[in-house]
Structure 1
Amino acid sequence: MKLQRHGLVACLALTATLALGACGSDNNEPSGSASGSAAADCATGTVNAQGSSAQKNAMDEWTKAYQQKCADAKVNYESTASGAGIQAFIAGTADFAGSDSPLKAADEQPKADAKCTGGKAIHLPMVIGPIAVSYNLGVDNLQLKPATLAQIFAGKITKWDDAAIKADNPGATLPSTAIQAVHRSDSSGTTDNFTKFLSKTAEADWTFGNAKEWKAPGGVGAAKSDGVASKIKSTEGAIGYVELSFAENSQLKKAKIGNGAGEFAELTPESAGKTIAGAQVTGQGDDLQMSIDYATKEAGAYPIVLVTYEIVCSKGLAADKLNVVKGFLGYTASSEGQQALGELGYAPLPESVRTKVEAAVKNLA
């Protein structure tokens, strides 16, 4: 695997080389394409979307770039959190939704499918982002095993000089400061992924399962990714989970996390890339749901990463929305669109996945 550094955070390229270029077009796609590496399928109209706050920085960059290329297209993305985005999609007020977790098969998927005349709601993985465990404490290079992390967020460990934290950090001088564990107060796919990590790696200490809503007692809630980052930054003794780009923007410290290989892995492009490389596409056809191995035993792998999906109808998009949705998502899935994420603390999709996403976008109808 070759990894290329670019800007603030290195692009986590999982193939030998990403060829520059944008998605092509056929007779059924929007007209007005530019040429060369700046190509984008342009259309006229307005698209409204909402959801995941973890991908907010990526969406801000993409909408700015796409609208610069396509002056007659407008894309409005509102960072309302994954749960709210899914509900807006189901209600018909969002043309697509961003979610850090797949639709729940029992209830959300059927409701979303009902919106898609002649088709179904599909998941298009578009943003890959490591989840940083950030903290505000006068200690550098903090190390935490999954079991210790689970006990902190379950409210079982309340002081920074607790014996379990000391055991993870031999030689470190830890203060007796009270721990302020910060979690998302809104329905969040980041919470779902973080608690999924805890439930799969520290089952004995984390008994709350995984969900978009925070289930454990105690702690301090904050809305959206930027709210969590802000709370950590302003609170001595705080610890929380937040997508890497928000940790970077707020200049927060990031803990090393124990992985399945028994190591403490620092959050770096290389270490996150090792976990991303093991993710598998589990959906069928153009529904590209992915499964991450949070208990990866890959040496040096940072184990807490998430995938944000754009949830959209495979068929049944309104005629005045279809071309703009295809044009915009085609740009975000292009090599150019994915490579732009490296400066923002995200990672480009593996090329093997990116090409599938690009093809699925072309099939939207």
Structure 2
Amino acid sequence: MKSTTAGLALFAATVTALGLTACGSDNNTGGSAAGTAGGASTSAECAGKNTLTAEGSTAQQNAIAVFNQAWVKQCAGKNLSYNPTGSGAGREQFIAGHVDFAGSDSPLSDAQVTTAAERCHGNPAWHLPLVFGPVSMAYHLNGVEHLVLNGDVLARIFSGAITSWDDPALVALNPGVELPALAITPIYRSDSSGTTDNFQKYLSAAAPHAWTKGEGSEFQGGVGEGAQKSAGVAQAVQSTPGAIGYVEKGFADKAELPSAMLDSGAGVVAATDESAGVAIQAAGFVAEDSNDMRLDLRSLYGTKQAAAYPLVLVTYEIVCSKGYEPDTSAAVKSFLKTASTTGQDGLAAAGYVRLPEQLKRRLSAAIDAIQ
């Protein structure tokens, strides 16, 4: 896993360098230099300190790079230094006050809600859903270009009940496909991961009778081989014949791994931006009248809507609602505004889904309310 660690370190350095190469001013208010060289329409859009820090989800690291490029272009001299250490580490670093916000594929736990409020000087932390994308079931089967799975089969694979690719349940889903008599090697995230949490929540919603292992950021299946971070899962699947792993589609595509299609009962659907977007429309909020925008994912993962790919990753930026220093809150709002508007333009090429307009309007109001 040394190469994976080195790659993540290089990514963090590259994101920092992106911002630093655009620096033309050390003016923390993002004044006229930002308005001219950076293309910002008003200095208020580029207010606050020049450098923000964030840590967490590896699933959103490529989206964060896109957002940072947009922010650099919009506001000369600005930069986000993002450390992709995993959702669990990101939440911990945010609560400890070591970073300005966290990127996380899972919301704060009940205990963390309390400690996060302490970090925010007595104010609640908010979950702002900024990045969506299909989670690929990437696999390594030579000669098998098209593979169909469903929630029940995936639950049994990742709990050890199905162990060979020629299992009758797989054969029934793939008529006419020559599946080999090859052992299945499930690949899971060995680090604390919001992608794992999302995957296990999907299994619980889509196959409640087959998946009884539970949920959470730690893999509960008890079988397979673990790999660190999203890049590590893709690398492990790539190097292991018979392997299958859950990983964000952008990482699967970069590794040139095929992605299985899912059949939720309304037909076979491939993992695409469009099919993930259809599924996102089914998601509701835990609290409808709140700027804390945690999503109720069971409605999404359990959907049987035609043309919907339900295994979708939802990742949050976890921020203080109040309690920042003024120059920090202004910069956080500036970055998030850019990410939710012009930053959306480059997401498709990075393997993510643009924000639906209805969600974007609600997100904009929440960002405006940060203090």
Q: Using structure 1 for the length normalisation, give the TM-score.
A: 0.87
Question: Compared with structure 1, are the counterparts of its residues 45 and 269 closer, same or farther at alpha carbon in structure 2 (3 Å cutoff)?
Answer: closer
Q: Is 1:350 aligned to residue 352 of structure 2? A: no
1:122 Cα offset (Å) = 0.3
Please name the residue that 1:264 is paired with.
Answer: 268
Partner of 1:133: 137
User: Alignment partner for residue 99 of structure 2, among 73, 94, 110?
Assistant: 94
How far residue 118 of structure 1 moved from its aligned partner, in angstroms, is: 4.7
Give the CA deviation at 1:337: 1.2
CA distance in 1, matches of 2:247, 2:318: 22
- Any idea what SS the aligned residue of 1:253 has? coil
- Aligned with residue 313 of structure 2, among 284, 306, 313: 306
Q: Which residue of 2 aligns with 1:122?
A: 126
Range with bigger deviation, 315-324 or 121-130: 315-324
How many angstroms apart in 1 are the aligned matches of 2:48 and 2:69?
A: 15
Is the contact made by 2:66 and 2:343 (CA closer than 8 Å) also made in structure 1? no
For the residue of structure 1 that corresponds to 2:347, the secondary structure is: helix
Identify if the C-alpha distance between structure 1 residues 166 and 358 changes in structure 2 by more than 3 Å, giving closer, same or farther: same
| Residues in 1 aligned to 2:46 and 2:293: alpha-carbon distance in whole angstroms | 22
- Relative to structure 1, the CA distance from residue 42 to residue 251 in structure 2 (aligned partners, 3 Å threshold; closer, same or farther) is farther
Give the structure 1 partner of residue 251 of structure 2.
246
Are the aligned partners of 1:133 and 1:255 in contact in 2 as well (CA < 8 Å)? yes
Q: Distance in 1 between matches of 2:154 and 2:235?
A: 20
The question of whether the paired residues in 2 share the 8 Å contact of 1:116 and 1:313 is answered with: yes
1:187 Cα offset (Å): 0.7
**Mapped contact 2:273–2:348 kept (Cα < 8 A):** no
How many angstroms apart in 1 are the aligned matches of 2:174 and 2:198? 25
Q: Give the corresponding residue for 2:7.
A: none
Contact 1:30 1:327 in 2 (8 A): no
Match of 1:255 among 253, 256, 260: 260
Give 1:162's match in structure 2, choosing from 164, 167, 170.
Answer: 167
Bigger mean CA deviation after superposition, 268-277 or 192-201:
268-277
Number of matched pairs? 334
Secondary structure at 1:330 match in 2:
helix
TM-score normalised according to structure 2 size:
0.85
Q: 1:218 is matched with which residue? A: 223
- The alpha carbon displacement at 1:314 in A equals 0.6
Alignment-derived partner of residue 278 in structure 1: 282
Q: Where does 1:29-48 land on structure 2 (aligned, <5 Å)?
A: 32=32, 34=35, 39=41, 40-48=45-53
Structure 1 residue 94 displacement after superposition: 1.4
2:365 to 359, 362, 365: 359
Counterpart Cα distance in 1 of 2:135 and 2:242? 19
CA distance in 1, matches of 2:275, 2:332: 34
Tell me how far apart the structure 1 counterparts of residues 124 and 198 of structure 2 sit (CA, whole Å). Answer: 24
What letter matches 2:103 in structure 1? Answer: G
Counterpart contact for 2:134–2:272, Cα < 8 Å: no
Task: Check whether the contact 1:134–1:247 (CA below 8 A) recurs between aligned residues.
Answer: yes
For structure 2, list consecutive stretches of 5 or more residues without a partner in the other structure.
1-28
1:208 alignment partner in structure 2: 213
Equivalent pair of 2:171/2:179 in contact (CA under 8 Å)? yes
Q: 1:179 aligns with which of 177, 184, 193?
A: 184
CA distance in 1, matches of 2:265, 2:60: 27
Q: Are residues 156 and 38 of structure 1, via their aligned partners in 2, closer, same or farther at CA, if it must alter by over 3 Å?
A: farther
Whether the aligned pair in 2 keeps the contact of 1:260 and 1:296 (CA below 8 Å) is no
- Give matches, 1:11-22, under 5 Å: none
RMSD (Å), alpha carbons: 1.9
Residues 1:73 and 1:38: Cα distance change in structure 2 (over 3 Å): closer
Amino acid paired to 2:329: L
Go from structure 1 to structure 2 and tell me whether the alpha carbon gap of 1:291 and 1:38 turns closer, same or farther (over 3 Å shift).
Answer: farther
Q: Deviations over 1:112-145 (max 9, x none)?
A: 1111125210011100111111101021210112
Identity over the aligned pairs, expressed in percent? 45
Q: Which residue of 2 aligns with 1:295?
A: 302
Q: Which moved more, 1:59-68 or 1:243-252?
A: 59-68
8 A Cα contact 1:154 1:206, kept in partner: yes
1:193 aligns with 2:198: yes
Does the residue aligned with 1:209 lie in a helix, a strand or coil? coil
Q: Is the 1:41–1:330 Cα contact (8 Å) retained in structure 2?
A: no
C-alpha distance in structure 1 between counterparts of 2:200 and 2:290, whole Å: 28
State which of 206, 227, 234 in structure 1 corresponds to 2:232.
227
Distance 1:234 1:306 in 2: 24
* Cα distance, 1:30 vs structure 2: 6.4
Q: Distance in 1 between matches of 2:70 and 2:340?
A: 13
| Partners of 1:83 and 1:189 within 8 A in 2 | yes
Q: Is 2:70–2:338's contact at 8 Å kept on the other side of the alignment?
A: no
Structure 1 unmatched ranges of 5 or more: 1-28
Q: Is the 8 A contact 1:43 1:72 kept in 2?
A: no
SS of the residue corresponding to residue 216 of structure 2 reads: coil
Tell me the SS of whatever aligns to 1:94: coil
Shift in Å at residue 347 of structure 1? 0.7
Distance 1:255 1:360, change over 3 A: same
Shift of 1:260: 4.2
